[in-house]
Amino acid sequence: MAAITVLPSLLSADFSRLAEELERCEAAGARRLHVDVMDGHFVPNLTFGPFIIEAMRRSTKLPLDVHLMISDPVRYARDFRSAGADAITIHVEAVGPRDIATAIDRVRVTGAQVGLAFNPDTDPELWFPHFHTVDLVMFMTVYPGFGGQAFIPQVRPRIRATRSAFPSLAIQVDGGINRDTIPLVVTDGADRLVTGNAFFKDADPAGFLRWAEACKPARSRE
Ligand code: DX5
Ligand code: ZN
């Protein structure tokens, strides 16, 4: 399995000081950043669009991992790529099984890495045939829309099933990822950890990040 990467989720950053917050992530040792786009339709919350991502792009060289919680991700993929997204993750629930292959292609041609995200109650196995065509899959361990929610442990068997079917795929987890839940998801096979509150509210984000990236799977899987 690949090394663990922690992705600070900028949803928990102070947007009145965005450039400083991006510097804080870099200073803490982050190698990749997570950016949450919400449209008030796919999820019951609104954040921002390509304009803010362009501003982030001007303030950091770190790869931007853009999580599209929007109903029509394909329509906007090129705009997010032009704004500076390095990876674009779309929700399978927003696209549906009939159009997923085309959607993956449409994101791929923008030049971005492609990710597929799964809500906590979506069974990933139905989508396994598409996993060899993407760069990462991401399990939502909360219902998407808000930071600071509690981790949903029922997602864990899905992470394990995916890791055993795809030993070298990047498996990302998002929602309620913190010092208590990181050992669990790493044991299940996740290697990319999105952390909003746990990173930004830690008194020592660098120490938190170092600890998380050194986390090893427990020897016997639960
Ligand atoms: C939730 C977002 C997450 C969020 C995670 O819909 O996709 O990326 O920022 O925040 P925490 O880590 O605080 O649960
Ligand atoms: Zn997210």
DSSP at 46: B
Mean of pLDDT values over 150-172: 98
Q: Which residue among the candidates 14, 79, 99, 174 is catalytic per the annotation?
A: 174
Fold of 5-213: TIM Barrel (3.20.20)
Average pLDDT of the chain is 97
pLDDT in tens, 47-98: 999 999 999 999 999 999 999 999 999 999 999 999 999 999 999 999 999 9
Residue 221 has pLDDT above 70, yes or no: no
Mean of pLDDT values over 34-40: 98
Confidence of residue 220 (pLDDT cuts 50, 70, 90): low
Binding site membership of 147 for ligand 1 (Cβ less than 6 Å): yes
C-alpha of residue 35 to centroid of ligand 2, in Å: 6
Closest ligand to Cα 149: 1
Binding site membership of 45 for ligand 1 (Cβ less than 6 Å): no
Binding site membership of 148 for ligand 1 (Cβ less than 6 Å): yes
pTM for this prediction: 0.97
Query: What pLDDT was estimated at residue 219?
Result: 73
65 counts as catalytic: no
Query: What pLDDT was estimated at residue 2?
Result: 75
Residue 222 has pLDDT above 60, yes or no: no
Ligand 1 atom nearest the C-alpha of 151 is: 14
Domain-by-domain residue ranges, the chain?
Answer: 5-213
Mean of pLDDT values over 97-118: 98
Q: What is the 3-state secondary structure (H, E, C) of the chain?
A: CCCCEEEEEHHHCCHHHHHHHHHHHHHCCCCCEEEEEEECCCCCCECCCHHHHHHHHHHCCCCEEEEEECCCHHHHHHHHHHHCCCEEEEEHHHHCCCCHHHHHHHHHCCCCEEEEEECCCCCHHHHHHHHHHCCEEEEECCCCCCCCCCCCHHHHHHHHHHHHHCCCCEEEEECCCCCCCHHHHHHHCCCEEEECHHHHCCCCHHHHHHHHHCCCCCCCCC
Ligand 1 atom nearest the C-alpha of 140 is: 7
99 counts as catalytic: no
Residue 212 has pLDDT above 60, yes or no: yes
- Residues 140/124, Cβ–Cβ less than 8 Å: no
Query: What pLDDT was estimated at residue 1?
Result: 59
Binding site membership of 124 for ligand 1 (Cβ less than 6 Å): no
Binding site membership of 196 for ligand 1 (Cβ less than 6 Å): yes
